[in-house]
């Protein structure tokens, strides 16, 4: 006669303790790795964006391909005054560079010359966009859909994205009081365009922060336009 087993068997939906422990360890390790990545990204000199090229001549070409050659030449002209250098896309106000372009660096650097001396500015990148300006224009013109951003993330500030946002902004007549900048440029009105843009980019010759490049910008534009027209053909 068989004896009755007094030990109850585990139900089918009960997990062994070892499985629960593994799940907890995986969660803890994941959180630790994520925390480390976030902390390391704060050290801007730790790595350099693999998407940022470096040129040995200026004004540097655009990373973005295609588009209206007149607006492309205008973009290169703006950056000739705002960020003229071998690595314009990672440039901060004052001349330092950042390495992490996964988002706008949002670093406030003290202004040392001009009417705003003593204040600080978050101007960064090829087009020296303030954090607030970048976020505002990125919401409207960035190729990255804002509704698809992960929690805590922001719009990419990689070179291609900087170009795309500024190109779409300049190409939008509604952003400039209904004025078609491309048509003005095709009509030879570069001085009028620079004047119109000077409240936004104050080094273009008609703003409050002109520099050594400002007076040469119409000539620079003509040179950039010839290059862009040739490349577009």
User: Is there a contact between 219 and 194 (Cβ–Cβ < 8 Å)?
Assistant: no
| Domain ranges, ordered by start, for the chain | 69-146+154-232
Helix, coil or strand: residue 163: helix
Residue 20: pLDDT band with limits 50, 70, 90: low
Look at 192 and 56; give whichever has higher pLDDT.
192
Per-residue model confidence (pLDDT) at position 135: 96
Helix axes 159-170, 131-141, angle to 10 degrees: 70
User: Is there a contact between 124 and 104 (Cβ–Cβ < 8 Å)?
Assistant: yes
* Whether residue 63 has pLDDT greater than 60: yes
User: Is there a contact between 181 and 171 (Cβ–Cβ < 8 Å)?
Assistant: yes
Q: Residue 160 burial (CB < 10 Å; 0-12/13-18/19+)?
A: middle
- Structure token digits, residue 207: 């703003």
* Whether residue 200 has pLDDT greater than 60: yes
- Structure token digits, residue 27: 């969660």
User: Is there a contact between 202 and 82 (Cβ–Cβ < 8 Å)?
Assistant: no
Mean pLDDT of 70-89: 96
Q: Residue 214 and residue 220: Cα distance in Å, rounded?
A: 10
Mean pLDDT of 41-66: 72
- CATH number of the domain at 69-146+154-232, please? 1.10.530.10
Q: What pTM does this model have?
A: 0.77
């Amino acid at each position: 006669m068989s004896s009755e087993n007094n030990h109850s068997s585990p139900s089918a939906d009960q997990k062994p303790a070892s499985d629960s422990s593994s799940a907890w360890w995986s969660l803890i390790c994941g959180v630790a790795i994520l925390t480390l990545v976030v902390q390391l990204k704060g050290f801007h000199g730790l790595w350099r964006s693999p998407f940022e090229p470096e040129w040995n001549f200026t004004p540097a070409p655009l990373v973005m391909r295609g588009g209206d050659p007149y607006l492309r030449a205008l973009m290169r002209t703006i950056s000739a005054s705002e960020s003229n250098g071998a690595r314009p896309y990672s440039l901060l106000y004052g001349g330092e560079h950042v390495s992490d372009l996964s988002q706008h660096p949002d670093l406030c650097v003290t202004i040392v010359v001009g009417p705003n001396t003593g204040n600080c500015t978050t101007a960064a990148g090829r087009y020296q966009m303030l954090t607030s300006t970048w976020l505002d224009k990125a919401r409207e013109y960035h190729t990255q859909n804002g509704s698809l951003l992960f929690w805590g993330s922001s719009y990419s500030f990689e070179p291609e994205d900087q170009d795309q946002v500024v190109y779409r902004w300049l190409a939008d007549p509604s952003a400039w009081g209904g004025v078609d900048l491309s048509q003005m440029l095709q009509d030879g009105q570069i001085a009028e365009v620079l004047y119109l843009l000077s409240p936004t980019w104050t080094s273009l010759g008609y703003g409050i922060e002109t520099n050594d490049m400002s007076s040469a910008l119409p000539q620079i534009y003509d040179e950039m336009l010839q290059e862009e027209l040739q490349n577009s053909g």
